[in-house]
Structure 1
């Protein structure tokens, strides 16, 4: 699920990859098939880092966590913008539509205030969903980083909903709605700056949560049903190799490989290879080859992601 959110969020920035490229980059992380797939994988890693920071800080989202995510996403060692010159432009016309704060001290001041607004629940009686919309707008308008602001801002959305308890883990497929309604996203962002039209912006974000909540539930329900079906088949057809760990591996890694099975099941390479070949012979996975390496695809699971995402 984290990869699917990463894929959709990256598409907002015109970083487009296919499901196959995405999962191949996951199964062969040292040899990604495309630069876009590598970018998406970095987004996933930044999301995971942010979620880990939530646990380490007792449910807080400090600015230091945002900076760490930015550094991981962009492979940089700096943090908030320190030099002027940033301007947001219309993608089609090149026209400057908004100039965020330029002074480094002003950026820090805005982000310090936002950090408090995010983490101090006594500051505002607003519903967390409305508060998320305000947080996202303030972050995007401050544009604190030299690059990657859109993706860090969308990670912040799901981290905040997780912090408030509306999500148990950051799995909401929120960027899918934004990708499909990108023109409206930027129009409503700018309307708040130009005319103070907060109502339309908040409604847009609430619609995003409502639609993508339904999509996420559909995906999770589909995964659970597939897991139950495969579990019964494995027990009936391959009882000698069945284990919960094997089942989990097939759904944790839509594209899996011998090394993953070795680690998850704590078995030898020879045993892991035998298990995967047996699974392929019985139609649980499809066997493929990339260079000298074999990998195995959970075709039904990948099809579920394709059907729900509506893309390749």
Structure 2
């Protein structure tokens, strides 16, 4: 980290640290909120974001069965947020892994199992956080609980799961030394002070609009970098959880990882620009544009899934489908990869009855068998996967 780039930063200060025989500088961000002039362009971008988010919130309130759509959105977020950190798992891989299949024969090459488990951990962490909001506000304890589940049994499992770091860390290329770091976050004593101030800001009243505040908080958490591993994923999780915690959305339907992954270099550069030069304006416009883009994307994706569900129901009803068959078809929106034992569990019927219902969905062109042979059959609903992945 070139200390000269941060020497005159209006958003923080440098402190000298000793790492082995090396002497370098770490960056300690100022406490929130900063003084920012919200100019016309920021207000216009904020208005666009609020309007798009409001449309998504309205859609969420009118969904007849929102759980059918929440699960796909959570898994899409898990895949894309983890991909920013270098995992090689896609949506179909994740669904297959959840059904006990590391790969889909003839459809997808298998990802490293550690990658699949990391993405599944993200799903479970997000689901835990959504449930935990009912009993605990977002705070340092809440954040540690998320981290403990995120790195359980995967990369980072030896980096004090659920505990803030006790050692200096840094951001740089894999295998690089601290002197070659792109960014060095606060030393441990200053880190704890920054975290306490961040927690206070989470619960304080602030005159900035909520979406602006979430943009500030995301930068602040990433610049503190309080864990030895998993900081980026936790930081992105907090965005989605704050939208719910602050009642900006009634359901967990908005995630920004797709936008950050698409503009990965800008994502990094804009946050670094805050630390170096105090460029809050560029970051906030970028962040708010992401809210707008992903809100619109979520509306389109939600409507496509709802239209597909209605289309299937109409076709199956015309063919005099039973309530069991309709229930099984609906379940494909929660998990578009299915085995007969899973169908049996979903419907609470005999194996033979589950098999017959699966065969009816195959005959209707809704399910397709992807495994070979007659034992351990695996089926996919490609139309659902296409909407989630596209």
Asked whether the two chains share a fold, i.e. TM above 0.5, the reply is yes
Instruction: Identify which range, 211-220 or 246-255, moves more after superposition.
Output: 246-255
Partner of 1:302: 385
Instruction: Check the 8 A contact 1:80/1:107 in 2, yes or no.
Output: no
Paired residues, what number?
A: 302
Instruction: Give every structure 1 segment of 4 or more consecutive aligned residues whose post-TM-superposition deviation is greater than 4 Å.
Output: 29-33, 90-94, 241-244
Unaligned runs of 5+ in 2: 1-72, 104-109
Deviation sequence 1:86-142 (CA, Å, 0-9, x none): 111257997322211122x43233222222322x2x521211110110110110011
Partner of 1:21: 93
Q: Select the residue among 145, 149, 156 that pairs with 1:68.
A: 145
Instruction: Check the 8 A contact 2:88/2:115 in 1, yes or no.
Output: yes
Instruction: Check the 8 A contact 2:316/2:326 in 1, yes or no.
Output: no
TM-score of the superposition, structure 1-length normalised?
0.89
Closer, same or farther: CA 252–135 of 1 in aligned 2, 3 Å? same
Q: Select the residue among 239, 244, 258 that pairs with 1:157.
A: 239
Closer, same or farther: CA 168–230 of 1 in aligned 2, 3 Å? same
Instruction: Check the 8 A contact 2:165/2:226 in 1, yes or no.
Output: no
Instruction: Check the 8 A contact 1:5/1:171 in 2, yes or no.
Output: no
Please say which structure displays the higher CA radius of gyration. 2
Residue 118 of structure 2 corresponds to residue 42 of structure 1: no
**CA shift at 1:30, angstroms?**
8.3
Deviation sequence 1:252-311 (CA, Å, 0-9, x none): 11112223323332222221122112211221211232794222211111122232xxxx
SS in 2 for 1:71: helix
Instruction: Identify which range, 202-211 or 63-72, moves more after superposition.
Output: 63-72
Instruction: Check the 8 A contact 2:332/2:384 in 1, yes or no.
Output: no
Instruction: Identify which range, 36-45 or 72-81, moves more after superposition.
Output: 72-81
Q: Tell me, in whole angstroms, the C-alpha distance in 1 between the residues paired with 2:147 and 2:101.
A: 20
**CA shift at 1:29, angstroms?**
6.8
Residue 264 of structure 2 corresponds to residue 192 of structure 1: no
**CA shift at 1:55, angstroms?**
1.7
Closer, same or farther: CA 150–289 of 1 in aligned 2, 3 Å? same
Q: Select the residue among 307, 315, 321 that pairs with 1:225.
A: 307
Closer, same or farther: CA 48–287 of 1 in aligned 2, 3 Å? same
User: Larger relative CO (CA 8 A, sep 6+): 1 or 2?
Assistant: 2
Instruction: Check the 8 A contact 1:67/1:79 in 2, yes or no.
Output: yes
Bigger proportion of residues as helix: 1
Instruction: Identify which range, 169-178 or 253-262, moves more after superposition.
Output: 253-262
Unaligned runs of 5+ in 1: 308-312
Instruction: Identify which range, 250-259 or 199-208, moves more after superposition.
Output: 250-259
Alpha-carbon RMSD across the aligned residues, in angstroms, is: 2.3
Residue 60 of structure 2 corresponds to residue 5 of structure 1: no
